[in-house]
Amino acid sequence: MKAAPEVLTLCELGALLVFRHDERPDVFNPVIHADKVKQSQLDPNAQFFFAYTGWAILAESGMEGKLAEWRLTSDNDIQDYLQAAAEKATAKPPKRTT
């Protein structure tokens, strides 16, 4: 099994295709995009929204085979994946003994 995309990658993909009220969908604005991605890293609900959106985009774009390879084929799979990523991000590193 190959590694699934990082949560940040899924958030970046979701942020590309979800538009805010102050954003023009026909013009890419790197400042607004960066703000959405930053918000996804600060707010767990925003992170879930953007990462789930990125996953849903992949699921609808003919990437079913790749999602199956990554074992991200259902809503429960993506929720488990995001939970594991959150736990990994907040885990304390093991103590080093010298």
What integer pLDDT is reported at residue 1 of this predicted model?
A: 42
Whether residue 96 lies inside any domain: the answer is no
Whether residue 97 lies inside any domain: the answer is no
**Which residue range forms the structural domain that includes residue 41?**
7-90
What integer pLDDT is reported at residue 92 of this predicted model?
A: 65
In order, the DSSP letters of the chain are: -PPPPPHHHHHHHHHHH---TT--TTS--HHHHHHHHHHHHH-HHHHHHHHHHHHHHHHHTT-HHHHHHTT--SHHHHHHHHHHHHHHHHPPPPPP--
What integer pLDDT is reported at residue 34 of this predicted model?
A: 92
- Count how many Cα atoms sit within 13 Å of the Cα of residue 80 in the half-sphere of its side chain: 9
Whether residue 98 lies inside any domain: the answer is no
Q: Is the pTM of this model over 0.75?
A: no
Question: Block means of pLDDT (10 residues each) for the chain, length 98 residues?
Answer: 65 83 87 90 85 78 65 67 70 64
79 contacts 55 by C-beta, under 8 angstroms: no
Whether residue 11 lies inside any domain: the answer is yes
